[in-house]
Amino acid sequence: MVRPEIGKTFVADGIKTNYHDTGEGRPVLLVHGSGPGVTAWANWRLNMPEIAKEFRVIAPDMIGFGYSDSVGRITDKAIWTNQLVRLLDDLEIDQVSMVGNSFGGGVTLAFMIAHPDRVDRAVLMGAAGLEFPLTPALDFVWGYEPSREMMHESLKMLAWDQSRLTDDLIDSRYHASIRPGAHEPYHATFGGSDRQANIAMLSSREEDIAALPHEVLVLHGKADQVIPQEVSLRLGNLITHSDVRFFGECGHWVQIERMASFNRAVIEFFSHGLKF
C-alpha cells in the first residue's frame, strides 16, 4: 500500500529523516507542528501542491515525529536545527525560505538565529519561540495519551470549524499516533509533568530575535486556543522587518482552515517580500 506520508529518506549520524521534495525553483522549507499523530504530510498536505507550483518545497518529518527516527527525550531544540542543516547540506541547498508552524515556528526562529545566511525570508504561523504561560489547550495536546476519544478532543483544540473533524481525519491521526514507536518519543519530549519547560526549550532570546535581519510574515488565527495571539504580536514588535496578520474564523490551523488565503500569502511573500 502506498502511504502518502512517506517520501524520501536521508540519513545522518545513523538518524533517518523522512522528507518530501516536490516542485522546482527557489527552495521553501516547511517545518510542521507538534500535535499527536502529526507528520509533514498531514500538516502540509493542502499546501505543498500549491506552493510547489512556484517553488521547490521540502517538508521533513522532524526527529521524533512521523516516519523520521527518534532519539528519546529531547531537551535542546538544536537537535532539530542541526537536522535541518544536515538535510540542506545533503541536498546541496545554500539558502531557503522557511515556514514554521507552532513548534516548527520555534525551530524556525532558532534556525534563523543560528544560521542567518541560510535563510532568505520566513513565515511564522501560530509560532512558538517566545516564553508564555502554558495554555490549557497546549497542555492537553502535549499530554495526549493514545485513544480515539483523546485524539478527537486534541483536534478540537486545534480547529475553529469543528465540522472539519471528520471520522476519517480523527481515525487517520489516531492510527498514526499508535503506530509502533510513535507515541513513546512524543510523550518523552512533550508529555512530562513540567510542560512549561517545553515552551522554554522552544524559545529564543528576545535580543537574538530582535537582531534578525530577515523579512518575516507572522500569521495567527484569531480563535487560536493553543498559542496566544500575544506571542505573534510580540514577535512582530521584536522583528524589525515584519508584518503580522490575523485570520478570522480560524483556530491553530491557518494552513488548513484558511488554506487559500494561507497559500496565496506565502507564495506572494516569498515572491515579492513585504512589498506585495
Range 140-167 average pLDDT: 95
pLDDT in tens, 213-251: 999 999 999 999 999 999 999 999 999 999 999 999 999
What is the pLDDT, as a whole number, of residue 1? 64
| Of the listed ranges 61-65, 108-112, 136-140, 166-170, the one predicted with least confidence | 166-170
Give 3's pLDDT tier (boundaries 50, 70, 90): confident
What is the pLDDT, as a whole number, of residue 26? 98
Query: Taking 80 as the threshold, does the pLDDT of residue 51 lie above it?
Result: yes
Residue partners of 3: CB distance under 8 A and separation at least 6: none
Query: Taking 70 as the threshold, does the pLDDT of residue 160 lie above it?
Result: yes
Give 124's pLDDT tier (boundaries 50, 70, 90): very high
What is the pLDDT, as a whole number, of residue 120? 98
Q: How far apart are the first and last CA of the chain?
A: 43
Q: Which of 7, 236, 10, 273 is nearest to 125 (CA)?
A: 236
Report the alpha-carbon distance of residue 107 to residue 210 in Å, rounded: 16
Percent of the chain with pLDDT over 90: 93
- Residues marked active site are found at 102, 224, 252
Kindly report the average pLDDT of the chain as a whole number: 96
Report the alpha-carbon distance of residue 147 to residue 268 in Å, rounded: 40
Which SS3 state, helix, strand or coil, does residue 6 take?
coil
